[in-house]
Amino acid sequence: MRSRTAWLAFVLMAALAAVGMAVAASDDKKDGDSSKSPSGKDNRDGARGRRGGFQRGRGVSADQIVERLNSFDKDKDGKITKNELPERMQDLIARGDTNKDGTLDKNEIKALAAKLQREGGAAAFAGRGGRGGAGPRGGGGRAGFGPGAGLERALDDLKLSDKKKETAEDALKTYHDNVRKLMELARADLLLKMKNVLSEEEFKKFKETTDCSPPPPAGFRPR
Amino acid sequence: MYNRTPWSAFALMAALAAVRMAVAAPPSNDGATIGGGSNILPKPSTERTLRLPNPPFNYVDVELPAHFKTPAARRFDNTPSYNALSDNGATLGRVLFYDTRLSVNNTIACGSCHEQKRAFSDPKRVSKGFEGQLGDRNAMSLINLRYQPRGRFFWDERARSLEEQVLMPIQSKMELGQDLKGLTEILAKDDHYPELFRKAFGDSAISRERIARALAQFLRAMVSYQSKFDEGLAKARSVRSDFDNFTAQENRGKNLFSRNCASCHMPRGQTAHFIMIRPLNNGLDADIKNSDGGIGDLTLNGLQVGLFKSPSLRNVEFTAPYMHDGRFATLEAVIDHYSTGVKPHPNLSGRLRRRLNFSTEQKAALVAFLKTLSDQKFIADPRFSDPFQ
């Protein structure tokens, strides 16, 4: 019974994670923000409620996101270039510039926003490398707002008793630990194979690239 | 062979996972920028003398108070198994942290914007880069970074581990502007670094990965745990009891904090870590178009626009100005914001939709309590100080 429950909980968590939950949007269930569509036109912008507080918001709409990015369009030509964006946002150009003109226009921004939301937001952090990043790397879906974080949040949402939650969190920590170790193993396996393929100099460069590949999923870490 | 290896290794790993790793060291934090509060930059590290104790400082065997050792508190530790803290590793990290050669023009180091006396934050509203260029965010304080369970850093959490984070300001064109390959070559030619790397990692090879690991170790070693709050809690029956070493106002502030702030800033049934588990929107701006979008600016996710990470509240007295853009100069201004200044936002945290409406006395009590989180020993600890003299 116990193992069945655990299995069901896992399936539930995996399903929730796959939906690409916008973890950060809701710091807890009270926020309730993340269950709403970000594209609702009837966005109330947290309008004042009856008790002098603010009503529940529904996220920022796609149009507002386009408007936000367009605020960086310094020369008002309708296109955003890399130099117009803060350094931390410049990766967006490479990710969304589908016509390869080195800029983002309104349609590309909308398409990119939709794509990133499908990927649960984690994609924004994937492949970030070189300057401002930690080196070339792929993946990225693990941490950030990816499945790992989804599992953590799904567990929070179950509202378990303290003792039960502690045990469940231990299990989840072990899961993260195992995934991380598998990643380390995969890297070691990759390097082993590459050693037979690449010259010494090529291997050295390749290894340097993998040295700063994303570490383990965040969330629960070894104590 | 390849197929079999992973599974046997997985079994080994599963066994290893059952073994609880006992790590015992301190914490730390985020990005770097430039310029001390005094606007007087120290001489480049190359014009000063590196002085290190022999044997190295103790970073590993630190006796933390009981409230740091509870299962709930220990669960916050983000130390990865591949980068356990060592005295020599943290020592190397300390040297790197203060070495101005980490900037491309040898003018600033991580420690230039993360001043120890400011609990490793920058008193400037926004920090300056290696050529004096201004950033657009306040440098986060580097306190107890080890105990941030999401293990993500920067205001927008764009770094997914401390090891990843520490390399980003070095390479940033706005901050240190350095090239990592060039940096490894510079360090390899130095009189001290090959030996420091050998002590830390077993051989003198210098790589970006090792630089990252050493810096992360130093940052995780920075644990603040000797505040008035910690002393009071050690003698009290529980965090809810009045602390004998607190004034009446401080105890009142503690109760107010417990009722109004602790659910975000002291989460998950522990009393050691004053951090938020997840980023949120705290109603700083209603203007979505022209305000920093935080995480949402990177993900373009409508539900993440306006969300920011929060640094630890430990030593918050020293880390002014506050918020991601340093807009609040004082703790009183911060409390005023949460009391009556929260603005509507589609992603505003649910806990902030109710006006707190603190009285003047309540605000003063909250500020008094926050100041009990100050740790004078931490901000003067020679283990975290500039080793170049």
Interface residue of A19, A29, A30, A33 to substitute, partner B, most B CBs within 10 Å: A33
Contact B289 A64 (CB under 8 A): yes
pLDDT band at B47 (very low <50, low <70, confident <90, very high): confident
B174: nearest CA partner in chain A: A87
Give the mean model confidence (pLDDT) for residues B12-27: 36
Tens of pLDDT, residue by residue, chain A (223 residues): 455 555 555 554 554 444 333 333 333 333 333 333 333 333 333 344 444 555 555 688 888 999 999 999 999 999 999 999 999 999 999 999 999 999 999 899 989 988 887 776 443 343 333 222 323 232 332 222 233 445 665 666 576 776 777 788 778 777 876 776 787 788 888 888 898 888 888 887 677 656 544 433 333 333 3
Residue B389 to chain A, least CA–CA distance (Å): 30
Residue B208 to chain A, least CA–CA distance (Å): 7
pLDDT at A14: 52
pLDDT at B286: 95
Contacts of A27 in chain B (CB under 8 A): 264, 276-280, 349-351
CB nearest to A221's CB, from B79, B307, B342: B79
- Residue B146 and residue B24: Cα distance in Å, rounded? 10
pLDDT higher at A33 or B71: B71
- Residue B156 and residue A121: Cα distance in Å, rounded? 12
Please say if the pLDDT value at position B92 is more than 80: yes
Interface residue of A44, A125, A175, A184 to substitute, partner B, most B CBs within 10 Å: A125
Q: Is the ipTM of this complex over 0.85?
A: no
Question: Hey, which CATH number is domain B21-224+379-384, 1.10.760.10, 3.40.470.10, 1.10.3720.10, 1.20.1250.20?
Answer: 1.10.760.10
B166: nearest CA partner in chain A: A134
Write out the two tokens for A28.
């807890």
Q: Which of residues 82-111 of A touch B (CB under 8 A)?
A: 86-89, 91-92, 109
At the topology level, CATH places domain B228-371 in Cytochrome Bc1 Complex; Chain D, domain 2 (1.10.760)
Contacts of A182 in chain B (CB under 8 A): 6, 10, 13
B148 Cβ contact list (under 8 Å, min separation 6): B76, B78, B275, B312
For chain B, residues classed under CATH 1.10.760.10 are 21-224+379-384, 228-371
Q: Which of residues 2-21 of A touch B (CB under 8 A)?
A: none
Taking phi over 0 as left and psi of -120 to 50 as alpha, with beta for the rest, A105 belongs to: beta
- Residue B250 and residue B243: Cα distance in Å, rounded? 9
Tell me the residue ranges of DSSP E strands in chain A: 80-81, 103-104
Burial class of residue B249, CB neighbours in 10 A (0-12, 13-18, 19+): middle
pLDDT band at B26 (very low <50, low <70, confident <90, very high): very low
pLDDT at A167: 81
